[in-house]
Amino acid sequence: MISRVHSSILQGIDAVGCEVEADVSIGQSGEIKLVGLADAAVKESVSRIQAALRNSGYRWPGPKVTINLAPADVKKDTAAFDLPIAVACMLAGGMFATEKIDDYLLLGELALDGRVRPVRGALATAMLAAGTKRRGLIVPAENAAEAAVVRDVEVIPVRFLTDAVGFLTDELPVEPRAVDLESVFAVSGRYDVDFADVRGQESAKRALTVAAAGHHNVLMIGPPGSGKTMLAQRLPTILPPLTLPESLETTRVYSARGLLEPGQSLLAVRPVRTPHHSASPASLVGGGAIPQPGEISLAHHGVLFLDEFPEFPRTTLEMIRQPLEDGCVTIPRVHSTLNFPARIMLVAAMNPCPCGYYTDPQRPCKCSPGAIERYMGRISGPLIDRIDIHVEVPPVPWRQLRAGDGDGQSSAAMREQVLRARQVQRRRFDGEPRGQTTTNATMSPRQVRRHCKLDAAGETLLKQAMTEMGLSARAHDKVLRIARTLADMEGCESVAAHHLAEAVQYRRLDRRL
């Protein structure tokens, strides 16, 4: 007797359909065969399934069992096939019958006692069920919350193999899991940090406000202890709240990596990823023998903070140049090409020299000019060119450190400026043919020429800056984009000379230190 159960294969962060077929020959001697390009984790499932069936009160359906995972030319590398294989074998062995099996996708790893353990990619599988017009999916109870955020799909949570069988035979009523998205965002979308905690550094706060308003990348330069890390950690508090589509995109990446907490449904706040400078290229950008998203994709719709920027290997840093431009990471392989989303806001921090005190007025720098030049040379010019804003973060004077509460700008005040500028940009780009343009930082060169027109004073100032600072064509466009953001923050229709002057000041590394 042959049975067929529907499941999914996780490729990158996307789920593709997979059929689990089982053929049981009762009364014949033979062996158990599992075919369909399964790796060791899947081949070992037979022993787990046999123990799970026995300890759940069921028998193994027969001596000769053939299990096929289709399509056969796609590698299967997860224990999530345990539950669908077990159900397929039981159906083929005539242990129960159901008319529901074609309506649901099944996913789950089995323990030896019949418990259903959580797996990766439940959200992507729910999206697959919705896209293929399935009624729903049967998943481990720990994964039900993340899968339930997909609308019009029934998510059946099961804790034991017997729960799945009981639901399919209508002997055990199981309520589909539901998630109140509004309450999730209301409860989880809060921050425990605030820019008011940062003493002084009002010029750096201004630069970060501009960066958040136009989604510009930032490089902070300053001595140790000046507050660069504190500033970066608080940047998400002034960014616009995550929308539901943005949250689903980001959550899907975390689901594929298995990084969601048990019972967590969505990421309600923008992620902040802070990889160490010893991170490998694959861990930062993505890849591996079985390609998985890296830190840059885990920061999708959030902030990627690279502290000690020059300490990262140069080859690793060069790999983030393409994602910064395109908003995605492309991992080519022989059999396929995977794309991981990476629409991030890069925030980097570095010291001005190896000892860190080149710009500190209180502590003498012990580095030679050659050492400083070699240190700065660890970051390539093309990468620096792709970072919009370079801002100096000086040491904080004692008086500002001891200032009372309320003396510095809070996240609420800064967020108000950001939201006002983002609203202007949303209205501007609603009618644009290029769908990816949502902020000033993503404007195409044609859009820059259209929306960043200068008066005579602005043209003169820009020409002088280009001549004296030797700005590249890319830096020229980035200065205009920043100036456009500054104008949006003030509610100005056109870019004025003072907007351009402030934008030029943010090209710190285009001048001598």
Domain extents for the chain?
2-168, 191-419, 443-513
The pTM assigned to this predicted structure is 0.89
Place of tokens 């907007």: 499
Q: What is the tens place of the pLDDT at every residue in 217-241?
A: 999 999 998 899 999 999 999 999 9
3-state secondary structure of 454: coil
| Cβ-contact 70, 36 below 8 angstroms | yes
Q: What is the DSSP letter of 496?
A: -
Return the pLDDT at 29: 66
Distance CA 471, CA 462 (A): 10
> Residue 330 corresponds to which amino acid?
T
Question: E strands, 243-372, where?
Answer: 272-273, 286-287, 292-293, 303-306, 328-332, 337-341, 345-350
Binned at pLDDT 50, 70 and 90, residue 512 comes out as: very low
pLDDT at 513 over 60: no
Tell me the pLDDT tens digit for each residue of 41-51. Answer: 888 899 999 99
Tell me whether strands 64-70 and 109-110 are parallel, antiparallel or unpaired: unpaired
Cβ distance 286 to 340 under 8 Å? yes
Average pLDDT over residues 197-202: 86
| CATH for 191-419 (2.60.120.10, 1.10.287.3510, 3.10.620.30, 3.40.50.300) | 3.40.50.300
Kindly write down the DSSP assignment for every residue of 87-103, as one continuous string.
HHHHHHTTS---S-GGG
* CATH code for residues 2-168: 3.30.230.10
133-147 confidence digits (pLDDT tens): 999 999 999 999 999
What pLDDT does 181 receive? Answer: 82
| 443-513 CATH | 1.10.8
Write down the pLDDT at residue 43.
86
Per-residue pLDDT tens digits for 74-104: 888 889 999 999 999 999 999 999 999 999 9
